[in-house]
Structure 1
Amino acid sequence: MARPNHFRDVIRIGPVRVGSRSDVRGRQKHTAACTAPRCGFSADYDSRAAAELAARTHTCTTN
C-alpha cells in the first residue's frame, strides 16, 4: 500500500505551489505544481532551490 503524500513547508510563488516530502525510500523530494486551471505543470526535484527556480520561471501555456 502506497504512503500518502504529506507535504511540508508549502509555499506559493505566483500560481505555483512548492512543497517538500519524503519518498518511499526516505529521501527528500521537492515538488513544484501549478494550480492554474488546465495548466498541468508539475515536477519533482532533488533540491528545494531547483523547485523554487522552476516555480519562479514557470509560465502557463493555457490561454
Structure 2
Amino acid sequence: MPRPIRPRNVIRIGPVQVATYYDARGREKHTAACTAPRCGFSADYNSRPAAEIAATTHHCPIR
C-alpha cells in the first residue's frame, strides 16, 4: 500500500491551491490544483515558483 501524500506549506491563489509534498521516492514536489467545481485542473512541478505561476495564470474553462 502506498504512503499517503501529506501536503505541507499550502497556500491559496484565487481558486487554486499550491502545496509541497514528497513523492514515493522521497523527492520534493509541488502541486497546483484548482478547487472550483467541475474544473479538474491539477499539475505537479519540480519547483515552487513554477507551481505558483501556474496558479496565478490559471483560468477555469467552465463558468
What range describes the TM-score normalised by the shorter chain of this pair?
A: over 0.9
Corresponding residue number in structure 2 for 1:39: 39
Residue 45 (structure 1) shift: 0.2
**Partner of residue 16, structure 1:** 16
Q: Which runs of 4+ in 1 moved over 2 A?
A: none
**How many Å separate the matches in 1 of 2:35 and 2:54?**
14
Structure 2: give runs of 5+ residues left out of the alignment.
Answer: none
CA distance, structure 2, for counterparts of residue 47 and residue 22 of structure 1: 12
What percent identity do the matched residue pairs reach? 68
Q: Distance in 2 between matches of 1:36 and 1:26?
A: 30
Verify: 1:54 aligned to 2:54, yes or no: yes
Q: Which runs of 5+ in 1 are unaligned?
A: none
